[in-house]
Chain A
Amino acid sequence: MTTRLSEDDIYRTSTQYRLWSYSPAQLAAQRKKTHELAIARARQNASKDGEQNGASDLEYLTEEEELQLVQRYCGNIRSVADHLKWPMNVKTTAVQYLKRFYLSNSCMTYPPKEIYKTALFLASKTEAIHITVPKFAASISADADAILAPEYKVMQALRFTLDVRQPFRGLKGALMELMNMAEGLMGTLSNTEQKTGKEVQAAMLALKLPPPGSKTPWKAPSGTLTPTHLNDRIRAAYDAARHLLDAPASLTDAYFLYTPSQILLAALHLSDEPLTSFYLDTKLPTTSPHRSKILSTIQSGAEMLASYNPKGMSKEERDALEKKLDRCRDPTTKDLIKSHAAMKRNGVEEGKLDEEKSKRRKLEREKSSKEMDDLFGPSLAGGKANGNG
Chain B
Amino acid sequence: MAEHVAKSPALDVPPEPPAKRIKLSPQPKKQDADDSGPASPSATPLVADLAEQLDAQERNKYVKGKKLGSGQYADVFSAYLVTDPTQLVAIKKIKVGAEVKEMGISYDSLREIRFLQELDHPNIIKLYSVFSTKNQNLNLVLEQLPQGDLLKLIQDTQNISYTPADVKAWMLMLMRAVHFCHANFILHRDIKPNNLLIAANGEIKLADFGLARSFADPYQPMTYNTITIWYRPPELFFQAQFYGGAVDVWSCGAVFAELISRDVLFRAWPESEMNMVKLICEKVGTPTEENWPGVSKLKGYVTPTEIQPVRPKDYWLANFRTIGEIGVDLLMKMLTLDPKVRLSAEGVLKHEYWTSAPRPSKLEALPRKGGGIEVMGEDLKRRGGEVPGKENERGDKVARKIDFGAAK
Given contacts A332-B45, A355-B97, contact A365 B104 (CB under 8 A): no
Total residues of chain B contacting the partner, CB 8 A: 70
Complex partner residue of A389 from B130, B132, B408, CB under 8 angstroms: B408
CA distance A328 to B156 in the complex (A): 66
Write out the residue numbers on chain B whose beta carbons fall within 8 Å of the beta carbon of A5: 183
Asked whether A372 lies within 8 Å of B398 as measured between CB atoms, the reply is yes
Write out the residue numbers on chain B whose beta carbons fall within 8 Å of the beta carbon of A134: 102
CA distance A368 to B401 in the complex (A): 6
Asked whether B42 lies within 8 Å of A34 as measured between CB atoms, the reply is no
Write out the residue numbers on chain B whose beta carbons fall within 8 Å of the beta carbon of A209: none
Write out the residue numbers on chain A whose beta carbons fall within 8 Å of the beta carbon of B134: 343, 346
Given contacts A10-B184, A163-B117, contact A334 B42 (CB under 8 A): yes
Stretch at the interface among B196-204, B219-227, B312-320: B219-227
B158 interface hit (Cβ, 8 Å) = no
Write out the residue numbers on chain A whose beta carbons fall within 8 Å of the beta carbon of B72: 354, 357-358, 361
A342-354 interface code vs B (CB 8 A; 1 in, 0 out): 1111111011001
Total residues of chain A contacting the partner, CB 8 A: 82
CA distance A148 to B273 in the complex (A): 37
A191 interface hit (Cβ, 8 Å) = no
Given contacts A362-B98, A381-B408, A387-B220, contact A48 B39 (CB under 8 A): no
A172 to chain B, nearest CB (A): 8
Stretch at the interface among B107-115, B254-262, B327-335, B357-365: B107-115
Complex partner residue of A362 from B99, B130, B137, B398, CB under 8 angstroms: B99
A282 interface hit (Cβ, 8 Å) = no
B217 interface hit (Cβ, 8 Å) = yes
A252 interface hit (Cβ, 8 Å) = no
Complex partner residue of A347 from B7, B111, B136, B408, CB under 8 angstroms: B136
Write out the residue numbers on chain A whose beta carbons fall within 8 Å of the beta carbon of B130: 160
Given contacts A133-B102, A354-B97, A388-B223, contact A41 B118 (CB under 8 A): no
B346 interface hit (Cβ, 8 Å) = no
A175 to chain B, nearest CB (A): 13
CA distance A10 to B55 in the complex (A): 26
Asked whether B9 lies within 8 Å of A335 as measured between CB atoms, the reply is no
Given contacts A105-B49, A126-B114, A162-B113, contact A333 B42 (CB under 8 A): yes
A155 interface hit (Cβ, 8 Å) = yes
Identify the B interface with A (CB < 8 A). 7-9, 31, 39-47, 49-52, 54-55, 72, 95-105, 107, 110-111, 113-115, 117-118, 120, 129-132, 134-138, 183-184, 213, 217, 220-223, 225, 239, 241, 272-273, 299, 398, 401-403, 406-408
With A15-B117, A159-B51 given, name 19 new contacts (CB 8 A): A45-B46, A48-B46, A126-B111, A128-B213, A156-B52, A156-B132, A157-B51, A163-B114, A330-B45, A332-B44, A335-B42, A346-B134, A354-B96, A361-B72, A362-B98, A365-B403, A384-B408, A387-B220, A389-B408
